[in-house]
Amino acid sequence: MRLSTEVLVIGGGATGLGAARDAALRGFKTILVEKGDLTHGTSGRYHGLLHSGGRYVVRDPHSAADCYRENLILKRTLPSAIEDTGGFFAALPEDPPEYVEPFLAGCRRAGIPAEEIPPALALKEEPLLNPKLARIFRVPDAACDSFDAAHALAESIRAAGGEVWTRRKVMGLLRSGTRVVGAELEDVATGERLTLGADVVVNCAGAWTGMIAALAGCEVKVTPGKGVMIAMNSRLVNTVVNRLKPPSDGDILVPVGTVAVMGTTEVVVQNPDQYAIDDEEIELLLAEGEKLIPRFREFRALRAWAGVRPLFEDRPSALTPRPSLPGEEGEAAPGTDSRMMTRAHAILDHAIRDGVEGFISVVGGKFTTFRLMAEQAVDLAGHKLGAERKCLTAETPIDPPGQPFHKLNDRLRDVEASEKTEIVCECELVTRVQVEQALNKSGSLVLNDLRRDLRLGMGPCQAGFCAYRAAGILHSRTPLGGEVRRTNSALIEFLQERWKGLRPVMWGANLRQMELDLNIYRNLLGVDRLPTAREPEEYPTEKTA
Amino acid sequence: MTAQSRYDVIVVGAGLAGMFAGALAARRGARTLVIARGLGGTHLGPGTVDVRGYDSARRLVNNPEAEINQKPGQRHPSMLAGLPALREALAEFQKMCAAAGYPLIGALDENFFLPTAMGAVRPTCLAPESFAAGEVRQTGELALARLPGFRDFFADLMAANLSAAGYPARVVSLDLLGAPIRRDSFATDLARLFDDPGYREKVAHHWRAALKGVTRLGLPAILGLRETDGAWRDLRARLDIELFEIPILPPSVPGMRLFNILKKTLEAAGGRVTIGPGIKGWVNADHTSQSRMQSARTVAARTTTARIAAGVIAETAGGPRYYAARHIILATGSFRHGGLEAPTKGKIIETVFGLPVMTNEEWFAPLYSEAQPYARFGVRVNEKMQPVNEAGEVIYENVFAVGGLLAGADRNGEGSREGIDLATAWAAISNL
C-alpha cells in the first residue's frame, strides 16, 4: 500500500514542528519527518533566549516587531516551556552611549516596552552584574527550553491528528513532471526504504534546507552561521541580560534551568555538519562574560557547543558591507560576519521561483518567530491545496489544558510525588520510570535522545554515573545477546557527545570530573574494549555536528 | 613560624599510595601522620591491584612482569625503583591484607581476567579472594545476579557482553527481601546489610531455590564493608556455590575495605590519619613559610643545591597550622584528587609545593575512548622518588612524590594504577 498525506513537513526543529502543527490544526492530513531526533539540528543547540525583539530594533525593525508579537503569543500558548524571566539591556561604560537613542526609538517604533531603571535597582535584582553599569533597560525577554517546546509541539500535532516520524531521512523527492509528489524515506535505524506521497511538501530543514531543495532540483542558498555558546554551571542571573550595543559576539547571558548560557559567536561555515569550536571563540565568550559579570571565569564552565543558524539571502550580494550602525566601529569584513545577514525569514514558492509545483521552502528566521514562519508557509500550502483555511496557532494553546507554568523545582516535585523508583541521574533528577517511559514512547535506541527528552547527563557530573545506568535500562528492553553491540554503541556515543561538549572547556572542576568519569568507563568498566555496532570514527567529535 | 606538631614522616594524601606509605613508615617506627583534604582513590577504584593490564595497543596483557620488563630503560613510574622494589611492594601489601583476614591473591607474572560490570574483560594482577571465581577463562557457566530495585548493576547487559565474547553467562533474579533500598542507594548501603549475619542467613535461605543448577554466581561487590572477607565466605558456604564479586560504580566497597585495612595497620603501628585539612603551603628550613604560588617561580629556576622543607601548613577549621616533619611524602594524586590543578585552559600546577610539572602541547584526544595525552602529565622524580627539575636535579632533599601525581603513565589506559601506587610508596619509604 502506498502511504500518502496532504502535507509532508521535512525537519523536526521548531519551524518544522510549528508548520506541522499549523497544518494539522487547519485539518490537513499532516506527517512530519526528521532524520534524527526532534531538535536534532539548530533548535536543540539554541541559547534559550525568547527575544523581545529589542536586539533587532535598530538593524532590522521588521524582525523586531515580529519577535515582539510572537514573544507575546508564545508566552500565552506555551507556558510549560517558557520561564518569563524578563530581560535587561545593560550598557557598560565601554558600550557606545550613542546607541541608546536609536535603541529606544526602535523599541517605540516596534511597540516593545523598554523601561529604564536605576542601575542600583538592577544590581539589587541581579547582584552579580558589573557594578559599573552605566544605564539599564527592562524589556520583555524570556527564557525558553527548546526541548520542552519541541515535545509540547509534537504532542499537539498528534492531538490534532498529525504524525511525527523521527529517524526518517529524506533520500529523494518524488517528481511527477514539474510537480513534487512525495518523498523517498529511509528508516535510519533499520535502513528500510519507504515511499510517502504528499500533495504539498514543506521544506523546514533549517541549515540543511538547501540540501533538501537540491533533491527537487531547486537551488536555495542557505549560509550556515555558526554560533558558539557556553553553559555555566550556575544560574548566574535570573533575568536575560543583553549588552546595550549593536549585536556582536558574547553579548547575551540567558538563565536556562539551573545553568546560565553565555552566547554567542557568529562565523560563516561551509558545511552545517562540520565545524569546529575554536579556542579563540571560547576565550572571547569568557572575556565578554567577565565584562558583564566580574569574576565570570571563576565559575565553572560546564560545556560548550555550537549551532548553525540558517541564514538566507536570495542574492549573494548580501554579504557586501553595509553602513555601520551608531556606535559600531567601522565595517565588518564581507563574508566573515554573518551578523550582517538579516534574521528575517522567507517563504519560497518554488512554483514561482523555479517552476516546481507542490514544494515550499522556509528559510532564515529564528526560534522566536517559528510560529509566524509556520503560519505563512501553511497559508501558501493551503493555497496550493485549494483550501485556504484560517490559521489557528496564534489562539490555540500548545500546552494541554492545565499544564502548569515551567518552574525550576518541577522535577523535584515530580520525583517526590512519583512511585518509589530509582534515581538514574542525580544531577537532573531523572528516574528509572521516566527513562523507561521515554524509551517506550520514542522506541529509540539512542541514549542521546534521553538527553533531549529528559536532560539526562546534562548536569555537572556530565553522565559519569547515569550513562551506565541508562545503558543498562536500555539493554533490558532488548533480548539478551544479539543487540548488545547496539547498547554498547549507544553508550559510547552518549559518552562521546558529552566529551565533545566538555573538551573545549576542560579545566578546573570539569577536568577533575572527567578524570573520574574516564576512570569509571575506561578502567572500571572497560567500555572502550567492547564490540560496537559502529566504528569509533563514526562518532561525533567537536568537528562534527 | 613555630610548629604545633612534629613528625618524622608526613604523608599528604590518603589514597592507596599515601596510606600504604604511611603504614610502611609507621611500621618502621617513624612518628607518622597521613593528612589529606579528603578520602582518596581507594573509594573510587575496583579494589584490585593492577600492575599492567594492557599493552600500548590496549590489548590484554597476560603476564604483567614480562610486559613492564620489555623496555628496561623506560621511565615508567612503577619501574623507577626497579623490579625487585615492585615485587617487594606487592608482597608487603599482600602481607598486610592477609594479616587483616582479607587475602589478595595472584602473582606478578600472571593476570586474572575478571569481568567488568559491563561484561568487558579486565586484567588485574592481585585481587581479593572474593573476586577470583569471576576469572572468565575458568570453565563452567556463569550466572549473574539481577537485583531488582538496585540501580547500579545490570546483570543482563553484563551477561550479554560476556556471552558475545564467548564466555557464556546467564541471569538469575534474586530478591533483596525488602531491603530498605532508597531511590538513591549505593553499593555501600547494601554492603552494610550484608555485614549482618542475620541478613545473610535470610537471603541465603530464600535464594537457594532460584540458584538451583547454578555453580558459579556473580554479585556486585556489596558483600560487606568490613575489612575482612567474612561476609563473602559465610554467604558462599551457606549457598554452597562458587561466589564472586564484581566491582561497580563508586563508592567502591572493596576499595573501602583496603582503605580500612591500611588505616588500621597504620594506627596499630602508632601512626595517625587526619582527613579534612588541605595543605596550602610549606615551611622552609629557615622557618619562612611559602605558598605554592611563590614557589612556582622559584623552583622552576635551575637548582644547584637542593633545599630542605621543614614542614607543611595545613588549612584547618581553626586557621593555618604548621606541621613540622623530617620527611614529606606527596601522595596527592592527579587532577581527580587535587594533586594537580588546571586553573585555566592549558595551565597546570602542582598544588602543594608548586613543583615543576611535565606536560605536552596536546592534552585531549578527539575521542573519549582513546588514550588521553594529559594522563601522562605529572611530577618527575628520580629513583628515590625525589621530585626533580628539567635538568634532573633534586629540588627538596626531604620531599618525595608518589602515586598518581607522577608523570609518565596513563594509568587508566595501561591498567597500572595500583602497581604505581604501591611501588612508588615502597620506594620512597625505603629511601628515607
Counting residues of chain A whose pLDDT is more than 70, the rounded percentage is 90
Candidate from A476, A483, A496 with C-beta closest to B368: A496
The answer to whether the CB atoms of B183 and A476 lie below 8 A apart is no
Q: Mean of the per-residue pLDDT values for chain A?
A: 89
Sign for the pseudo-dihedral over CA of A371, A376, A378, A379:
positive
Which residue from B minimizes the CA distance to A516? B336
What are residue B7's phi and psi, to 5 degrees? Answer: -130, 160
Asked if residue A119 is part of any domain, the answer here is: no
Topology of domain B117-249 in CATH is: Rossmann fold (3.40.50)
Q: Which residue of B has its CA nearest to A538?
A: B367
Pick the closest to residue A12 from A227, A202, A173 (CA basis): A202
pLDDT tier, A322 (very low <50, low <70, confident <90, very high otherwise): very low
Q: How far is B338 from chain A (nearest CA, A)?
A: 8
The 3-state secondary structure of chain B, one letter per residue: CCCCEEEEEEEEEECHHHHHHHHHHHHCCCCEEEEEEEECHHHCCCCCECCCCECCCCCECCCHHHHHCCCCCCCCHHHCCCHHHHHHHHHHHHHHHHHCCCCEECECCECEEEECCCCCEEEECEEEHHHHCCCCCCCCCEEEEECCCCCCCCHHHHHHHHHHCCCCEEEEECCCCCCCCCCCCCHHHHHHHHCCHHHHHHHHHHHHHHCCCCCEEEEECCCCCCCCCHHHHHHHHHHCCEEEEECCCCCCHHHHHHHHHHHHHHHHCCCEEEECCEEEEEEECCCCEEEHHHHHHHHHCCCCCCECEEEEEEEECCEEEEEEEEEEEECCCCHHHCCEECCCCCCCEECCCCCCCECCCCCCCCCCCCCCHHHHCEECECCCCCEECCCCCECECCEEECHHHECCCCHHHHCCHHHHHHHHHHHHHHCC
Q: Where are the domains of chain B?
A: 5-99+257-430, 117-249
On whether residue A177 sits in a domain, the answer given is: no
Q: Among residues of chain B, what percentage have pLDDT more than 70?
A: 95
A301 within domain boundaries: no
In angstroms, the CA A245 to CA A205 distance is 32
**More confident position, B208 or B293:** B208
Q: Which pLDDT score is estimated for A406? A: 64
Question: Is B40's Cβ below 8 Å from some Cβ in A?
Answer: no
- Residue A439's SS3 state is helix
pLDDT over threshold 90, residue B132: yes
d(CA A26, CA A385): 12
Cell for A224? 550556515
Per-chain mean pLDDT for chain B: 93
C-alpha cell at B337: 584528587
In whole angstroms, how far apart are CA B8 and each of A329, B18, B29, B394, B398? 66, 15, 9, 20, 11
Is B336 at the interface with chain A, CB within 8 A? yes
Pair B147, B174: CB distance under 8 Å:
yes
Of residues A431, A480, A528, nearest to B156 (C-beta): A480
Number of Cβ atoms within 10 Å of the Cβ of B297: 9
Q: One-letter amino acid identity for A276?
A: A
Contact A475 B184 (CB under 8 A): no
For residue B387, the cross-strand partners are B381
**CB of B320 closer than 8 Å to CB of B314:** yes
Chain B, 407 to 426: residues with Cβ < 8 Å from chain A are 411-413, 415, 417
The ipTM of this complex is 0.96
**8 Å CB contact of B117 and A542:** no
Radius of gyration, CA atoms only, chain B: 22
pLDDT for residue B401? 98
- Residues A32-61 pLDDT 10s: 999 998 998 999 999 999 999 999 999 999
Residues sharing a CB contact under 8 Å with residue B108, sequence separation 6 or more, in sequence order: B51, B64, B65, B86, B87, B90, B125
B345·A506 Cβ contact <8 A: yes
- Spatial contact of B309 and B398, defined as CB atoms under 8 Å apart: yes
Q: Are A453 and A459 in contact (CB under 8 A)?
A: no
* A471-500 pLDDT tens trace: 999 998 765 445 899 899 999 999 998 999
A281-320: per-residue pLDDT in tens?
A: 999 999 999 999 999 999 999 999 999 999 887 654 333 3
Type of residue at A455: R
Q: For residue B205, what pLDDT is reported?
A: 96
Q: What is the mean pLDDT of residues B222-246?
A: 95
Closest by Cα among A163, A52, A27, A36 to A114: A52
Query: CA-nearest residue of chain B to A421?
Result: B183
For residue A14 the three cell numbers come to 521548531
**Closest CA in chain B for residue A539:** B367
Bond preceding residue A264 cis, omega within 30 of 0: yes
User: What is d(CA A117, CA A137) in angstroms, rounded to the nearest whole number?
Assistant: 6
Judged by DSSP in three states, A222 sits in strand
- Cβ of A423 within 8 Å of Cβ of B183? The answer is yes
CB contact under 8 A, A523 and B184: no
Residue A439 pLDDT:
87
Q: Using 50, 70 and 90 to split pLDDT, how confident is the model at B141?
A: confident
Instruction: Say how far apart CA A509 and CA B341 lie, in whole Å.
Output: 9
pLDDT at B278 over 70: yes
Under an 8 A CB cutoff, do B417 and A523 touch? yes
CA A258 to chain CA centroid, Å, is 17
Q: Label residue A542 by pLDDT band (50, 70, 90).
A: low
Q: Which amino acid is at A519?
A: N
Dihedral of CA A525/A530/A533/A538: which sign? positive
How far is CA A537 from each of CA A189, A532, B369, rounded to the nearest angstrom? 18, 12, 11
Q: Provide the number of CB pairs (under 8 Å) joining chain A to chain B.
A: 161
Q: What is the distance between the alpha carbons of residues B133 and B138, in angstroms, rounded to a whole number? A: 8
**pLDDT tens digits, A375-402:** 999 999 999 999 999 999 999 999 877 7
B157/A475 CB distance under 8 A: yes
Q: Is the separation of the CB atoms in A83 and A142 below 8 Å?
A: yes
Chain B residues close to A484, C-beta within 8 Å: 119, 157, 160-161, 164
Q: How far is B311 from chain A (nearest CA, A)?
A: 27
Chain A contact for B122 (CB, 8 A cutoff): yes
Q: How many domains does chain A have?
A: 1
Q: What is the C-alpha separation between B236 and A219, in angstroms, rounded? A: 72
State the Cα–Cα distance between residues B25 and A162, nearest whole angstrom: 74
Q: How many CB atoms lie within 10 A of CB B23?
A: 29
Residues B237-260 have pLDDT tens digits of 999 999 999 999 999 999 999 999
**Residue B302 has what pLDDT?**
44
Q: Which of A476, A511, A530 sits opposite B342 (nearest CB)?
A: A511
Which of B160, B335, B345 is closest, CB to CB, to A481? Answer: B160
pLDDT-derived band at B326 (thresholds 50, 70, 90) equals very high
Q: Is the peptide bond before B251 cis (omega within 30 degrees of 0)?
A: yes
- CA–CA separation, B9 and B31 (whole Å): 6
> Fold for domain B5-99+257-430?
FAD/NAD(P)-binding domain (3.50.50)
Mean pLDDT of A160-187: 96
- pLDDT at position A119: 97
pLDDT higher than threshold 80 for residue B1:
no
A536–B369 C-beta distance less than 8 A = yes
Q: How confident is the model at residue B151 (pLDDT cuts 50, 70, 90)?
A: very high
Banded model confidence at residue A276, pLDDT cuts 50, 70, 90 = confident
Give the residue on A whose Cα is nearest the Cα of B164: A481
Q: Return the number of other C-beta atoms located less than 10 Å from residue B180's C-beta.
A: 9
The pLDDT-based confidence of A338 (bands split at 50, 70, 90) is: low
3-state secondary structure of A517: helix
CA angle B259, B265, B268 (to 5 degrees): 135
How high is the pLDDT of residue A2? 72
Q: What percent of chain A has pLDDT over 90?
A: 73
Q: Tell me the pairing of strands A179-187 and A423-425.
A: unpaired
Per-residue pLDDT for A321 more than 50?
no
B161 with A465: Cβ contact below 8 A: no
Beta carbons of A526 and B118 less than 8 Å apart: yes
Q: Which of B344, B345, B411 is CA-nearest to residue B378?
A: B411
A514-529: pLDDT as tens digits: 999 999 999 999 999 9
Q: Which residue has the cell 506555551?
A: A78
Out of A473, A524, A543, whose CB is closest to B116?
Answer: A524
Question: For residue B157, which residues of chain A lie inside 8 Å, CB to CB?
Answer: 471-472, 475-476, 484, 487
In this prediction, residue A448 carries a pLDDT of 84
The predicted pLDDT at position A6 comes to 98
Are the beta carbons of A516 and B44 separated by less than 8 Å?
Answer: yes
- The residues, ordered by sequence, that sit 6+ positions from A391 with a Cβ below 8 Å of its Cβ are A22, A25, A26, A375, A378, A379
